[in-house]
Chains A and B, each alone.
Chain A
Amino acid sequence: MKIKKLAIVLMLPILLTGCWDNVDLADINIVTAMGIDKAEDGKVIVTVQVVEPAALQSSSSGQARGGSAQPKPVFVESYEGETISDALISMKSIVDKRLFLSTIQVLILGERFCKDGINEALDFLHRDYQSEYLTDVLVAKDVTPEQILKIQSDMEAIPAMYIKGTIENTAIRAKVKRTTLIELFKDIKNKCRQVTIGQITKVNEKTVKTEGSAVFKDGKLVGWLDQYQTRGYLFATDKVKSTIVNIPVTNGKMSIEVSNSSGKLDVEFKNGEPAKLSIQVNLEGNIVEYIGKETLDSPGNIYKLEKILSQEVKKEIVMTLNKAQKDYSSDIFGFGTVVHKYHPHYWEKVMDEWNDVFSRLPADIKVEAKIRRAGLIKSPMMKDE
């Protein structure tokens, strides 16, 4: 009797819903990259880059099978649909297995798709349980996502991995805004800051370049930032981990590696109205290369260099701020966050036209730069006198 009861209790969990989608790894198409674009008639074009593991293995182990042509390690397919999910499901008519989306490494948005607004259009990716929130998002400039995904890199067998690698290098370049899917969702819902997404361009059939960023306003693509403007933006928003800044010196050039940087945004209020934007950046750097004549042995010399470095960084930030205020009228920095936090009542009133208010405000930008180390040699490479 006891055993019977126990058996019944043990059987009960079977009624609960477990993981119903038992799909063997061999029966799915592993999608490593996805592109979303819009056709001229307003339909959504979804492009997927799918890995062929077997081909990948044979190409990596170098076993050519029967002398036949080497199978491609990836294939790229596109399909049109009313919505993203519609396109994905309809795509089943041309692919052989179920599309598995959790492995997506990069998501590439088309220019036209972005211009029409991404806010509502990305609903599927937020709603679907398969989405990988750490997917990197990029906007393709001048090309369609499909063209990007069809490149064949010599560096990596899988183009998505190659693109992902170029974005990961951002940690030591700071010239592209890295946006993951979850950050994008957060920014879309956040009224205090406008969306910026990294930019990708095609160099040739084998190479892409991830540099610069796309600027959005109210979910719509309004323009671009080049690599230096992007770095200015990243300096101001405290996202630079390391980068190389070139500064002009007397009779030469110098490269300084920024090893540590912090940025702080503030909005000064006067009489209940915002009066001034302020950006404070503190950074530390080391001299990595110096092509010049002067020796670097006195504190005065170093101090002079620090001045130049500060000005150089400040120039980039000013350029970016001008672009955001004058050209795009979009608060990509997130000054709105400061206002929302410290002046919530004012924010309630101005929330909807904050971008206009932001564009009108004067700015005070302070950059404090320090040079800590000069490498193994003090003086430039030259003959001892």
Chain B
Amino acid sequence: MKYIDNQPNPKNRKKMEENNPPKLKSEEQVDLTLDKEVGKNLEKFKAFLKDSSDVVIREFSLGTQSIPCALVYVDGLVNIAVINEQILKPMMYQIALLETSLNQPIQPDKIFEVVKLHALTVGEVKEVKTLDDAFLRVLSGEVAVIIDGFDKILIANARGWPQRGIQEPPSETVIRGPREGFTETLRVNTALLRRKIKDPNLVIKTVQVGRRGKTDVAYAYIKGVASQELVEEVERRLNQIDVDIFLDSSQIEQYIQDNYLTYFPQIEVTERPDKTVASLAEGRVAILMDNSPFALIVPATFYQFFQSAEDYYERWILASIIRLLRWSGAILASLTPALYVAIVSFHPGFIPTNLVISIAATRATVPFPAFVEALLMEITFELLREAGARLPRAIGQTIGIVGGLIVGDAAVRAGITSPIMVIVVAITAIASFIIPSYSAAMAIRLLRFPFIVLAATFGIYGVMLGFIILNVHLVTLKSFGVSYMTPQAPIRYQDWKDFLIRLPSQIMMRRPTSTYPVDIDRRNQDPVKEETQ
């Protein structure tokens, strides 16, 4: 990926330097190496954090010898009870008890080890030797324990912040199937994955992304299933990202996708742990980000956007019929208005005479050509949809009533549009919402605008031309080395079992070949078990 290097021009640069005196950054004010004295180390912390009200620095003495110590943590990110009971209490009080009962003070050069091994009753304790590391830990909710006489810091995990509970994913509801969805906390999300795969081969690796945000981004895959090349590619692309902050996984998607000039999504997004796990089992890699309830799944092919988790929970015949319905919905959503415009303004001979007459009858009073009429109504619909999506739910309903009933009916009565056009727009709208993936549905729905323009200029010929160009574009797309239109182009008949329809689970014993899995057969996926046999 190549970015345009947007250098500020020299004039502005000079002004920027004037406004910002040197040595404003804390990094430039203090030495960043750790000192042995608590006071000096604290100075360094304070240089950065003194203006932040949520940072707590607690100085205290350790044991009978009153060795000066300090705690640094961020209020709100930590569990105060853990700090009081498991960190402060042992260090301030119980060590002194120990010393008096042994009748012998602990030697000052051993105190660091003693605290680590005997005092801190916390699960996760680490040592860090640089200030940078310490900052990262403290700002992620851990507690820094600074002890006089050592140029290293003990880090105890006492994380605990307010978080949203596990809820039903609002963007992907099912009638039958698990109801849990990812939350904004990475650890909860990885736990949800672990709860579904108890295979030690499930790997969840974490990298930090964003120079200032330093967001934890985890990518998960099953070793021995996911192709090694794919994993390396994901790692490479994640490490390549160089920005300051990230707010949501969709921003990661924008940086790691193959082609940013198309409006078809090339990475699948899901809120559902079960869907994520199913993808992992197919040999894909899932990318989870802290602070985002959406997991990214790569590689993604076009047909995945037509699959819903429920397809696999419902009986296969019903699921297949519904899946076919989705495909026809996609065609309806993108082509109906265009075909209507083309037929009405170029080829009335295509449709039965009775229908021609009734269409002509409804259009007789409409002053606009079909093209203008279609554009007008489609844009109105998009306005209503967007207005409804961003409004509070209570007002959203009002928009639906005003838009759908009043505007639709009044437009027909006023002679601005014909009833048939309203039907066409309604069919398009309903059909576009049948596609489970929101971003794919959006892309497919917006396709109708270029198609309407083509239909108005060239008729059916234009629609066909547009369709061909669209297909050429789709087959050139790739997602992490996999052709976007697999298994249709290139044709892989093995994968057709789960493409337009879904065959019974008993028949789908192999993983899709499009992800190039290490192990194609689902049945001997557990190498540990195989070795013991």
Contacts and interface: CB of A to CB of B under 8 A. Distances in A.
A25 B349 contact: no
A54 B361 CA distance: 5
Nearest to B354: A161
Contact of B357 (A10, A13, A53, A130): A53
B141 to A, nearest CB: 47
A57 B457 CA distance: 30
Interface in A15-31: 18-19, 21-26, 28, 30
Contacts of A105: 353
B458 interface: yes
Contacts of A30: 348, 353, 356-357, 360
A13 B361 contact: no
A348 B344 CA distance: 51
Interface residues of A, number: 26
A21 B346 contact: yes
Interface in B34-93: none
Interface stretch (B215-223, B431-439, B460-468, B488-496): B460-468
Interface string A27-42: 0101010000000000
Contacts of A23: 345-346
Given A13-B465, A19-B459, A24-B370, A53 B348 contact: no
B460 A25 contact: no
Nearest to B356: A103
Given A24-B344, A25-B344, A26-B363, A19 B460 contact: yes
A30 B356 CA distance: 8
Interface size class of B (residues with CB under 8 A): 20 to 34
A148 interface: no
Contacts of B370: 24-25
Contacts of A368: none
Given A10-B469, A105-B353, A22 B361 contact: no
Interface string B296-337: 000000000000000000000000000000000000000000
Best-surrounded residue of B359, B360, B456 (most CB of chain A within 10 A): B360
Nearest to B469: A10
B291 interface: no
A195 interface: no
Interface in B333-373: 344-349, 353-354, 356-366, 369-370
B194 to A, nearest CB: 46
Contacts of B369: 24
A56 B369 CA distance: 21
Interface string B362-402: 11111001100000000000000000000000000000000
Nearest to B348: A25
A158 interface: yes
Given A19-B458, A25-B356, A130 B349 contact: yes
Nearest to A100: B348
A53 B364 contact: yes
B454 to A, nearest CB: 10
Contact of B363 (A10, A25, A100, A102): A25
9 contacts: A13-B465, A18-B457, A21-B346, A26-B364, A30-B356, A53-B360, A57-B362, A103-B348, A103-B349
Listed from nearest, the 5 A-B pairs whose CB atoms lie closest are: A102-B349, A53-B361, A19-B459, A18-B458, A54-B364
Given A18-B458, A28-B348, 8 more contacts: A22-B346, A25-B348, A25-B356, A26-B364, A51-B357, A53-B360, A100-B348, A102-B349
